Structure 1
Amino acid sequence: MRMMHTMLRVGDLQRSIDFYTQVMGMKLLWKREFPDGKFTIAFVGYDTMEEGTVIELTYNWGVESYEIGTAYGHIAIGVANVYDAAASIAASGGNVIRPAGPMGSGTRAIAFIQDPDGYKVELVEDSPLETEFYVTPLAEARA
């Protein structure tokens, strides 16, 4: 088994594709209209759909906005340098809602941005898993 994708409902598909490809540096991997269902989906990501976890952007025809809800948290994206990534995203027109810096309860550098539909995206300094987050490997925790 593997993680395949996260689906987000969006109010303007092209605006969201532009954000994730032009601001976040992803590639548009696949797009298809479903006239009978009155929706269009597009997949974006850094890798292929077969090799990586991607984001499915779903546009239900005629729906321009959604209430995100209190259960949604964020999408996390690993970056080599969170400070540089946040600065680049801001320079590209992205909305940085939490500047790059250490976590409040840890040392790992993070930042938060918000996409055009209001979804939060966390930028995490991409380094090996640290005990700060993962105290015990899952296999050992099950034993």
Structure 2
Amino acid sequence: MTDTSKWKMNHTMLRVKDPEASVKYYSFLGMKQINKMDYPENKFCLYFLAYDDAKNESSGKHWTGRQGVLELTHNYGTEKDESFKINNGNSDPGKGFGHICVSVDNIQAACKRIEDAGYKFQKKLTDGRMRHIAFALDPDGYWVEIIGQKSLEETEKVEQTDIGRYRFNHSMIRVKDAQASLKFYQEALGMKLYRTNENPDNKFNLYFLGYPEGDPENQAYREGIIELTWNYGTEEDPNFKYHNGNDEPQGFGHLCVSVDDLDKACEHLEQHGVKWKKRLTEGRMKDVAFVFDPDNYWIEVIQNQSMKQTAKW
């Protein structure tokens, strides 16, 4: 039997146009490249980035044994194609994936540092009614939410920010049917529902789920959280669906869970009646499986190599 309490929300995959620009951007936000996989025969490359400061509990761990990893996928030649553009997931016809989120020690100083470096924002701290969050834009136009690990009042007079304290807090996806998605992520994937934000005036709810690692009391310090955004009424429309990022126009690719025992984990998923994109036995890659969530987002399932050595990753 697999132990889902040992599973980790390992990474979020985003396709990028120019890996040099993207790696530079996320390195500026404090992430470090912890792995790279090049597949010249298939003409693509994978970059794995994460917060790796000594203050981070994942520091020094194998990339499959972490939470809060960002995978950037680059297909050769896109950086030279002037017509190539990434779908950031926030406008039709590619609406589905929403954003990734980085939590910071001092949100005022962190946002000023990003702005001073010449990077763009979708929403600055001073924009709109929500003055406690900002949305920066990465080189491909993906939204990067910036939240504070402390209140605005605690940090308003602090002018410095320490990128070593930043965390890759969560990834947000929109879902059609909140109950169907909650059942999938809690029962099939074994995640825990940590918090629900109900917004009846604006007709949407937010659900935050994850595995039992990190500080459960202060979620801003955690990594590996999934945020599900549900807009009221979408579940009642039989024609409504979100874009999964893998159909055209492409952008977001998948979420990835690393598990204690890959074979037993796949048996567990089979018992929960999941819909498979790729079983372990299918295709050339025998070390990964993919399942669909209720909105057809891809969920990759891999072996945590820290717990059981099965691949030379």
Whether TM-score is above 0.5 comes out as yes
Structure label with greater radius of gyration: 2
Q: Which runs of 5+ in 1 are unaligned?
A: 139-143
Contact in 1 for aligned 2:8/2:66 (Cα 8 Å)? no
Q: Go from structure 1 to structure 2 and tell me whether the alpha carbon gap of 1:97 and 1:13 turns closer, same or farther (over 3 Å shift).
A: same
Q: Which runs of 5+ in 2 are unaligned?
A: 1-6, 53-58, 80-84, 89-93, 152-194, 199-207, 210-313
Matched, 1:2 2:12: no
Matched, 1:60 2:75: yes
The amino acid of 2:11's aligned partner reads H
The amino acid of 1:8's aligned partner reads L
Q: Go from structure 1 to structure 2 and tell me whether the alpha carbon gap of 1:127 and 1:28 turns closer, same or farther (over 3 Å shift).
A: same
Contact in 2 for aligned 1:31/1:40 (Cα 8 Å)? yes
For residues 1-30 of structure 1, the C-alpha deviation after alignment (integer angstroms, 9 at most, x for no partner) is 1110111100011110011102x1211111
Please give the secondary structure, in 1, of the residue aligned with 2:98: coil
TM-score by length of 2: 0.38
Question: How many residues align structurally?
Answer: 133
Matched, 1:123 2:146: yes
Percent identity, aligned pairs only?
A: 37
Q: 1:17 aligns with which of 12, 20, 23?
A: 23
Contact in 2 for aligned 1:102/1:110 (Cα 8 Å)? no
Please give the secondary structure, in 1, of the residue aligned with 2:96: coil
**Over aligned residue pairs, what C-alpha RMSD do you find?**
2.9
TM-score by length of 1: 0.78
Please give the secondary structure, in 1, of the residue aligned with 2:125: strand
Contact in 2 for aligned 1:27/1:44 (Cα 8 Å)? yes
| Superposition map of 1:71-90 within 5 A | 71-90=96-115
For residues 18-49 of structure 1, the C-alpha deviation after alignment (integer angstroms, 9 at most, x for no partner) is 11102x12111111211122101101111343
Matched, 1:113 2:119: no
Q: 1:46 aligns with which of 26, 46, 51?
A: 51
